[in-house]
């Protein structure tokens, strides 16, 4: 029997089998495409709410010693920050998250002020609260503006130009491209979810096609045929890849549609057809790696439950580069595109940020990722050549 014919026959057989289980097929194809719009639209809504509640609205700040600095309190009010009386134990209120931020005006504020000395104002917060840094920047910015304004007036009273006290005027020039700025939000979550969608997109079919058939004792008749084991493995992997490819396409299209219907920042994301095509091309090798690895693992499992137990640690693998880059940010280097998961993460970030990808990077990435997929395919073929594979117990 021709190997290509065998592979085609096995592939169609596996697709027909999973097609009969409509619930599993629907979950495999549509779970990720439904999840991405929820994430993107939900993040846009939460971001807008965060902007309104923490940046735009009047911020009430419990203040200890509010009566000691009436001018400061009046200035803060012009900046949308209202100083209010602090509760008896402000520190406990901050730790218990009953208050987000507070101020403490020192007892000697008035004396230091009149003497021309720096008067102490402390910003109180619990740095372990996730949103405390936003409020801290807002309050510190207002205090810095007040300090600069008063300092300039003091110099003018003494007949000194305030510019003398500022020998260096520090500014910021952000060289990030508009595409990179638009992709900042997506770059936090999108690579992980896309990688795991590609890596485990064909898991349902692969596990059932090997471990499931072995448990049902329907794999033995297939292995008893003179068909080459490599063609059988290739047919099962091809069927899983087609299923995973369908999931990826639907997921990427869902991202495009959700970005178009979103509001605020999510609407400005670059999800052109060219970007979608690049992301799909980046993820295709991961689809081959995932299906080949799952085929290898499922071939060693005696039951479907045993094969499914691998899903826990497999879902954690794509998180490794994200966690590594958060803990230890590193500059992009050529060797990174040879490391599974890290390479896909870096390439997806480049696509999202609209950065060009050199031919050398493509060569290293495709060579290493396709080479790994080939090794895993060979390992699966070796497993399929073991006669004990047909035995379920």
Say what the pLDDT of residue 291 is. 93
Q: What is the β-pairing status of strands 101-105 and 59-64?
A: parallel
Domain boundaries of the chain, sorted by first residue? 3-41+179-390, 55-168
> What's the chain look like in SS3?
CCHHHHHHHHHHHHHHHHHHCHHHHHHHHHHHHHHHHHHHHHHHHHHHHHHHHHHHCCEEEEEECHHHCHHHHHHHHHCCEEEEECCCCHHHHHHCCCCCEEEEECCCHHHHHHCCCCCCEEEEECCCCCCHHHHHHHHHHHHHHHHHHHHHHHHHHCCCCHHHHCCCCCCCCCCCCHHHHHCCCHHHHHHHHHHHHHHCCCHHHHHHHHHHHHHHCCHHHHHCCCCCHHHHHHHHHHHHHHHHHHHHHHHHHHHHHHHHHCCHHHHHCCCCHHHHHHHHHHHHHHHHHHHHHHHHHHHHCCCHHHHHCCHHHHHHCCHHHHHHHHHCCCCCCHHHHHCCCHHHHHHHHHHHHCCCCCHHHHHHHHHHHHHHHHHHHHHHHHHHCCHHHHCCC
Examine the pLDDT at 97 and tell me if it is beyond 90. no
* 293: confidence class by pLDDT, cuts 50, 70, 90: very high
Say what the pLDDT of residue 371 is. 95
**pLDDT tens-digit series, residues 138-151:** 888 889 888 888 88
Residue percentage of the chain with pLDDT more than 70: 82
Examine the pLDDT at 174 and tell me if it is beyond 70. no
Say what the pLDDT of residue 281 is. 93
Mean pLDDT of 266-286: 80
Global pTM reads: 0.71
Say what the pLDDT of residue 300 is. 83
Say what the pLDDT of residue 294 is. 92
Q: What is the Cα–Cα distance from 276 to 116, expressed in whole angstroms?
A: 61
Mean pLDDT of 88-97: 87
Q: In CATH, what number does 55-168 get?
A: 3.40.1710.10
Q: What is the β-pairing status of strands 59-64 and 81-85?
A: parallel
Which residue would you say has higher pLDDT here, 160 or 64? 64
Examine the pLDDT at 55 and tell me if it is beyond 70. no
**pLDDT tens-digit series, residues 14-53:** 888 888 888 888 888 888 888 777 776 666 666 666 666 5
Q: How many CB atoms lie within 10 A of CB 62?
A: 21
Residue 387 tokens read as 């006669």
Examine the pLDDT at 313 and tell me if it is beyond 70. yes
Say what the pLDDT of residue 280 is. 92
Say what the pLDDT of residue 365 is. 95
């Amino acid at each position: 029997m021709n190997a290509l014919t065998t592979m085609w026959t096995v592939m169609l057989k596996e697709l027909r089998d999973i097609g009969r289980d409509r619930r599993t097929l629907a979950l495999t194809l549509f779970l990720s495409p439904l999840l991405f719009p929820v994430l993107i639209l939900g993040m846009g809504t939460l971001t807008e709410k965060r902007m309104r509640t923490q940046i735009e609205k009047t911020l009430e700040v419990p203040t200890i010693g509010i009566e000691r600095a009436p001018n400061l309190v009046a200035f803060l009010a012009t900046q949308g920050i209202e100083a209010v009386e602090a509760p008896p134990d402000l520190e406990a209120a901050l730790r218990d998250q009953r208050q987000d931020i507070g101020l403490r005006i020192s007892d000697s504020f008035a004396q230091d002020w009149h003497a021309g000395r720096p008067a102490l104002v402390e910003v109180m917060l619990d740095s372990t609260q996730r949103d405390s840094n936003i409020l801290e920047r807002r309050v510190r910015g207002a205090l810095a503006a007040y300090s600069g304004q008063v300092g300039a007036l003091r110099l003018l009273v003494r007949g000194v130009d305030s510019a003398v006290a500022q020998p260096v005027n520090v500014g910021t020039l952000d060289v990030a491209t508009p595409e990179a700025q638009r992709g900042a939000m997506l770059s936090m979550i999108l690579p992980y979810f896309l990688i795991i969608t590609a890596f485990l997109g064909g898991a349902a079919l692969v596990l059932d096609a090997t471990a499931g058939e072995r448990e049902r004792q329907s794999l033995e008749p297939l292995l008893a045929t003179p068909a080459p084991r490599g063609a059988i493995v290739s047919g099962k992997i091809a069927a899983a890849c087609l299923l995973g490819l369908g999931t990826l396409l639907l997921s990427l299209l869902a991202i495009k549609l959700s970005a178009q219907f979103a509001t605020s920042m999510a609407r400005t994301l670059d999800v052109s057809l060219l970007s979608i095509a690049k992301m799909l091309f980046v993820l295709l090798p991961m689809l081959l790696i995932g299906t080949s690895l799952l085929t290898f693992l499922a071939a060693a499992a005696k039951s479907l439950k045993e094969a499914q137990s691998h899903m826990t640690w497999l879902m954690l693998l794509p998180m490794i580069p994200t966690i590594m880059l958060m803990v230890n940010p590193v500059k992009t280097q050529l060797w990174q595109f040879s490391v599974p998961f890290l390479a896909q993460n870096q390439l997806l970030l480049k696509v999202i940020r609209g950065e060009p990808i050199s031919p050398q990077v493509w060569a290293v990435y495709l060579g290493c990722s396709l080479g790994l997929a080939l090794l895993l395919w060979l390992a699966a073929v070796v497993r399929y050549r073991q006669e004990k594979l047909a035995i379920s117990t």
